[in-house]
Structure 1
Amino acid sequence: MKAVLGGTVIAEAPKEDLIAIEGNWYFPPSSVNAELLEKSPTPYTCPWKGECQYFNVKDGDASLQDRAWSYPQPYPTAFDRVGKDFSNYVAFWKEVQVTD
């Protein structure tokens, strides 16, 4: 599967390596082009997953705010709920298209 923005592939991995959580595909950290992400200061804590790290996604000279996120240290109970360790896996929002 691929996460694509304006023709640029931000992440790519076999579907079996991704984790689906609440309708979003989470890509393994090693499959993400980290050069296209920059940490955002936007705070958020999910009541069951834990503290979230948002990222701005670079689109040429522009930066799309908070279009990607991950959970660096999810709550241990979240692993039971999801069935896998999803620490640092990255999901995308809005303009970033995730396709097979």
Structure 2
Amino acid sequence: MKAIWNNAVLAESNDTVVVENNHYFPADSINNEYFEGSIAGTSCPWKGRASYYSLRVDGQLNKDAAWYYADPKPAAEHIRGRVAFWKGVQVVP
């Protein structure tokens, strides 16, 4: 699977985990050059607190377009150390 935005490959892996129709990529499969920290956070009743990354490709910013669970609840332990995408990021085979 590949995560693509603005013609850049943000992440690529044959080892994604699908949860609620989102592919979670291993953290070591992301191209860090496109990721910026974010102060955004949300909470999920069964996964826990999500933290976000913004994406910057060719000077364009996609704010809070990737998320991860640094300390997931037990039911979501299988997505620890993984990153998922939204906001126009295409996930394709």
User: Letter of the aligned partner of 1:25 in structure 2?
Assistant: H
Q: Report how many aligned residue pairs link the two structures.
A: 93
With normalisation by structure 2, the TM-score equals 0.92
Measured in 2, the distance between the counterparts of 1:43 and 1:9 equals 24
The aligned runs of 1:1-100 (5 Å cut-off) are 1-14=1-14, 17-79=15-77, 85-100=78-93
RMSD (Å) for aligned C-alpha atoms? 1.1
Residues 69, 81 of structure 2: 8 Å contact kept: yes
With normalisation by structure 1, the TM-score equals 0.86
* CA deviation after TM superposition for structure 1 residue 94, in Å: 2.2
Measured in 1, the distance between the counterparts of 2:76 and 2:5 equals 29
Stretches of structure 1 lacking an aligned partner (at least 5 in a row): 80-84
| Dislocated runs of 4+, deviation >3 Å | none
Measured in 1, the distance between the counterparts of 2:81 and 2:37 equals 13
Stretches of structure 2 lacking an aligned partner (at least 5 in a row): none
User: Letter of the aligned partner of 1:26 in structure 2?
Assistant: Y
Measured in 1, the distance between the counterparts of 2:59 and 2:42 equals 26
Give the percent of matched residue pairs that are identical in Structure 1 and Structure 2: 41
More strand as a share of residues: 2
Equivalent residue, structure 2, for 1:82: none
Give deviations 1:1-24, integer Å, cap 9, x for gaps: 10011211000011xx10000010
User: Letter of the aligned partner of 2:63 in structure 1?
Assistant: Q
User: Letter of the aligned partner of 2:5 in structure 1?
Assistant: L
* CA deviation after TM superposition for structure 1 residue 43, in Å: 2.0
